[in-house]
């Protein structure tokens, strides 16, 4: 379980924020783990029940979360996975390749696909639960890719998770040489406000950058620790060194005594 409390950057005299991995809120708008509470200007003292962070507060929540993670490496490591629940590029590319053909209308020529296996199949896969029939809405557009990648989760997943999938699709599509149309029913987060969307995108990117930096720092620390252990003399080496030094000193002392005689 992970529970972190941190201050709001934009509303320091009004709100406090929490990340609570154990919270289960059926009414959550963005994420049940993203919580906000009233402080009424009393520092970080909670004066109300916490509730799910709204879309209007999500950008401030993420930027405030990023600021908190800057001084808490453990927090950044623990939240890294949740802030990067996204399909990989191979899955997105496969989703883009699933395109309905006129021949798919014929029963004998129907095609099926499996996102998990990233494979296409013929009608022999009709009763294979791993495969799904290619439908007319599979047109290779961004909206089609998004809907395919979400699958059944589209009806029950939280808004923040779906938002991350849509952003992954957008980033992948923008990186392609050939323009990929948006298509129908592309989600309009924040009522399609482009400035608000840019700010939210930047906030999420900031959080991910800090989590990635924390992961790299942890890796670097591990490399340094292993190197330190490798170059540190072992116990046996130290004992042998001590014995050798003692014997050498004794020889020098004996030689000195002999010379006096």
Task: Take residue 241 and report the two structure tokens written for it.
Answer: 């060194």
Q: Report d(CA 138, CA 100) in Å as an integer.
A: 5
- Please give the pLDDT value at position 192: 82
DSSP 91-128: HHHHHHH-B--GGGGSGGG--EEETTTTEEE-GGGTT-
Shared-domain flag, residues 94 and 53: no
Same domain, residue pair 13 and 65: yes
Distance CA 153, CA 208 (A): 23
37 close to 50: Cβ distance less than 8 angstroms: yes
Domain boundaries, position 36: 1-79+199-261
Q: Is residue 107 part of a domain?
A: yes
Q: Does 194 map to a domain?
A: no
CB 75 within 8 A of CB 103: no
User: Among residues 145, 165, 187, which one ends one of the domains?
Assistant: 187
Asked, for residue 125, whether it belongs to a domain, the answer is: yes
E-strand stretches of the chain: 3-7, 15-20, 34-38, 51-52, 112-114, 119-121, 132-133
Identify the pLDDT of residue 208.
94
Domain contains 27: yes
* pLDDT value of residue 68: 97
Distance from C-alpha of 87 to C-alpha of 165, rounded to nearest angstrom: 7
Say whether both 182 and 261 belong to one domain.
Answer: no
Instruction: Note the pLDDT tens digit of each residue in 75-109.
Output: 999 999 899 888 999 999 999 999 999 999 999 99
Looking at residue 49, its pLDDT comes to 93
165 and 218 belong to one structural domain: no
Question: Quick check: is 193 in a domain?
Answer: no
Last residue of a domain, one of 162, 187, 212: 187
* 96 and 119 co-located in one domain: yes
CA-angle at 184, arms to 178 and 185, nearest 5°? 125
C-alpha 185/C-alpha 98 separation (Å) is 17
Those residues of the chain that have pLDDT short of 50 are none
Residue ending a domain, among 153, 187, 221, is: 187
Question: What integer pLDDT is reported at residue 122 of this predicted model?
Answer: 95
Q: Are the C-beta atoms of 48 and 18 separated by less than 8 Å?
A: no
List the structure tokens of 100.
Answer: 């309905």
Looking at the structure of the chain, the number of domains it has is: 2
Q: What is the pLDDT of residue 240?
A: 59
- Do both 113 and 55 map to the same domain? no
Q: Per DSSP, what are the bridge partners of residue 38?
A: 15
């Amino acid at each position: 379980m992970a529970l972190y409390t941190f201050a709001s950057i934009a509303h320091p005299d009004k709100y406090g924020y929490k990340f609570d991995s154990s919270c289960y809120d059926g009414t959550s708008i963005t994420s049940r783990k993203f919580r906000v509470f009233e402080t009424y200007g009393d520092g970080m003292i909670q004066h109300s029940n916490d509730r799910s962070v709204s879309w209007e507060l999500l950008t401030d929540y993420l930027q405030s979360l990023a600021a908190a993670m800057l001084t808490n490496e453990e927090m950044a490591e623990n939240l890294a996975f949740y802030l990067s629940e996204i399909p990989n590029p191979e899955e997105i590319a496969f989703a883009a390749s699933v395109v309905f053909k006129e021949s798919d209308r014929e029963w004998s020529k129907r095609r099926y696909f499996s996102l998990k296996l990233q494979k296409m199949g013929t009608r022999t896969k009709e009763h294979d639960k791993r495969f799904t029939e290619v439908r007319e809405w599979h047109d290779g557009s961004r909206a089609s890719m998004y809907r395919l990648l979400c699958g059944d989760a589209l009806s029950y997943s939280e808004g923040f998770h779906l938002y991350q999938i849509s952003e992954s699709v957008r980033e992948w599509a923008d990186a392609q040489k050939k323009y990929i149309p948006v298509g129908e029913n592309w989600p309009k987060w924040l009522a399609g406000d482009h400035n608000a969307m840019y700010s939210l995108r930047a906030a999420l990117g900031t959080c991910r950058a800090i989590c990635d930096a924390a992961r790299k720092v942890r890796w670097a620390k591990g490399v340094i620790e292993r190197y330190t252990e490798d170059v540190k003399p072992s116990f046996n080496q130290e004992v042998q060194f001590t014995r050798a030094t003692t014997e050498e000193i004794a020889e020098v002392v004996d030689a000195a005594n002999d010379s006096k005689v």
